[in-house]
A = this chain, B = another copy of it.
Amino acid sequence: MKQTVGIIGLGLLGGSLAKALKAYTDYDVIGYARRQAVCDQALTDGAVTKASTDVGTIIEQADIVIFALPPHTNGRVFCDHCHRLRPGQIVTDVSSCKEALVQVIYEHLPKGVAFVSIHPMAGSEKGGYGESSKNLFQQMGWIVLTDDHPAYDEQVAEQLAQMGRAVGSRVEWLPMALHDNYLAMVSHMPHMMASIMALVAGGDADGVTRMKLSAGGFRDSTRTAGGLPSMWREIIYDNRYNVSLALQAVMQEIQHVQTLLDQDDGGAGIEHYLMRAKTVRDRLPLITGISKNSK
C-alpha cells in the first residue's frame, strides 16, 4: 500500500526532498510550510499532493513524518505536536546537528513510534523552497544514524536508507554518538573557516581591492560564508563543543605550519606537508564518487 510521507518544512532541503520523492519513488508526499505562498507553490509544482500551514494536519495524515525545519524549530514543533503521533508511525529528521534535538525527541516520543534520524549531505548557501531541486541529492551522501535506543528500528532504518538510494544518494551508516563530532570536522568547522577567511581577506578597508585579485581558490574556499547566518548559527552553536575542538585542531596545525615556514630548508617541510594533504584530499572523489565542481 502506498505510504504517505509528511514533510514538515518545505525549505531547500524539505522542498527538494518532496520533489525528489515525487519524481523517483511511489510515496504520496504531503507537506507543511509556515507561509501559504510556499504551500501554493509546492502544490502548483506537483511536489506535494497536499500542503498545509497547519503542522498537526500533516503529522496526522502521514505514515512517515520528516522534520526538515531549522534545528531549533524542529525541536519546538516536535514538542508542540508529539502528542498527535500514534503507534506505527515513523519519525525522522534531517538536522545537521543531532545531540540536543534527538535528546528532546527521545524524551517526548510516544511509545510505539519509531524514530531513526537521517542526514542528507546536500545543501547550498542559498536556502528556501525557491532553490529546491529534485536532483539535490544526486551523488551526495545520505547518512542513516544507528542507535541503541528502544525507538530505533532496523527495518525503518533500512527503509530510510532505501529512500536515500531512490533519490540518487550514497548511503552511509553512522553511530549516532559519532555524528556531531564528525560533522563538526567535515562541515561545521570548514563553514566557520570560510567565514573567517572571508573576513581576514576581505573584511577591512582594503578588502574590496584584495578580493578583486582573488581567483577560483578563494571563491570556492569561502563559498559557504554566503550561507544563511540564522540557520548556521543554530547548527554551529548547538554543536559548539565539537566545533571548538575542531577549531582547536586547526590552530595546532597552523602553528605547525608556521614552524615549517620558519625553517631554512628551502621549503622542503612545506612541500612534504602539502603532499600529505594532497594524498588525503585526492581520496575524496574516490570515496565519495563526486565529480562535478571537483575540478
Contacts and interface: CB of A to CB of B under 8 A. Distances in A.
A244 to B, nearest CB: 5
Given A200-B253, A219-B288, A221-B223, 15 more contacts: A141-B213, A174-B213, A182-B210, A186-B213, A186-B214, A189-B200, A192-B257, A196-B250, A201-B246, A221-B222, A227-B274, A233-B271, A244-B258, A251-B254, A293-B293
A197 B190 contact: yes
A276 interface: yes
Contact of A261 (B143, B212, B243, B284): B243
A217 B190 contact: yes
B190 A218 contact: yes
Nearest to A252: B200
Interface in A274-295: 274-278, 280-284, 287-288, 290, 293-295
Interface of A: 119, 121-126, 140-141, 143, 172, 174, 182-183, 185-187, 189-203, 206-227, 229-230, 232-234, 236-238, 240, 243-244, 246-251, 253-255, 257-258, 261-262, 266-268, 270-278, 280-284, 287-288, 290, 293-295
Given A250-B200, A250-B254, A288-B211, A221 B274 contact: no
A221 B250 CA distance: 14
A188 B232 CA distance: 27
Contacts of A276: 199, 203
A283 B208 contact: yes
Contacts of A197: 189-190, 193, 250
Contacts of A240: 261-262, 270
Given A121-B215, A203-B276, A233 B182 contact: no
Given A230-B271, A234-B267, A278-B226, A187 B208 contact: no
10 contacts: A124-B216, A185-B201, A219-B294, A220-B221, A220-B224, A227-B274, A227-B278, A232-B274, A233-B274, A250-B254
A83 B262 CA distance: 35
Contacts of A255: 251
B223 A274 contact: no
Contacts of A218: 186-187, 190, 284
Given A258-B247, A278-B229, A282-B226, A210 B237 contact: no
A176 to B, nearest CB: 13
